[in-house]
Amino acid sequence: MNEKIKKLKEIIDGTDNLVFFGGAGVSTESGIPDFRSTDGLYSQKYDFPPETIVSHTFFMKRNKDFFDFYKDKMMALDAKPNAAHYKLAEWEAQGKCRAVVTQNIDGLHQAAGSREVLELHGSVHRNYCTRCGEFYTLEDVMAADGVPRCSCGGIIKPDVVLYEEGLDQKTLQKAVMYIRQAEVLIIGGTSLTVYPAAGLIDYYQGNRLVLINKSVTPMDSRADLVISGKIGEVLGQV
């Protein structure tokens, strides 16, 4: 066990009030690619960049094209939790982890057993009719041919935060509360560049800030412990 993993283990062992803040990197180890990544095949299939397609305006104006992309790139039906998801659920069961704050929409934290999960960007598992508010599952959306529609005729919209849309204020306030009160804050699998979510870190008032990421982040200099690597591989050793 190297020194940094050893120090992380000591930090975890010594707390009953840690909060985890995670991004896309937590899910990539479960085989979910970042939907913003594009390659040669992408341009053959889609006429617009991902950020344009996953916007409120695009959803309203070109909903068939939106759902083609959404089903292809964002639903990740076969993905399973990885070591990071399971370790966080284990820490919650032990009374150590108070909450998981995530920018991911895949529901893998809940699938691993975590209960207090704050989904800043929503979830593919919740879908609502834009006209009457009726709830639909991920399977309902997947089974629909083309644009999913409610029995009332309205379009069913995934409960995910699109570009141009605001975050859910209740979720945001709860995340701020947990981060502000946390003794230990572990940030993993995020470059901390997506706002307003990344701005939540500024509410942390403790002195045990841990950063686990494959690349450098703007917060590295403020962290008490920086571990470079994949989040699942790192937490799997603790």
* pLDDT tens digits along 88-99: 999 999 999 999
CA atoms within 13 A on the CB side of 57: 5
- Mean pLDDT value of segment 163-186: 96
* pLDDT tens digits, 137-156: 999 999 999 999 999 999 99
What pairs with residue 97 in β-bridges? Answer: 18
Locate the domains of the chain by residue range.
3-32+80-121+161-235, 40-73
Q: Global pTM?
A: 0.94
85 has catalytic annotation: no
Query: Is the distance from CB of 190 to CB of 25 less than 8 angstroms?
Result: yes
We find that the CATH architecture of domain 3-32+80-121+161-235 is 3-Layer(aba) Sandwich (3.40)
- Alpha-carbon distance of 118 to 115, in angstroms, equals 9
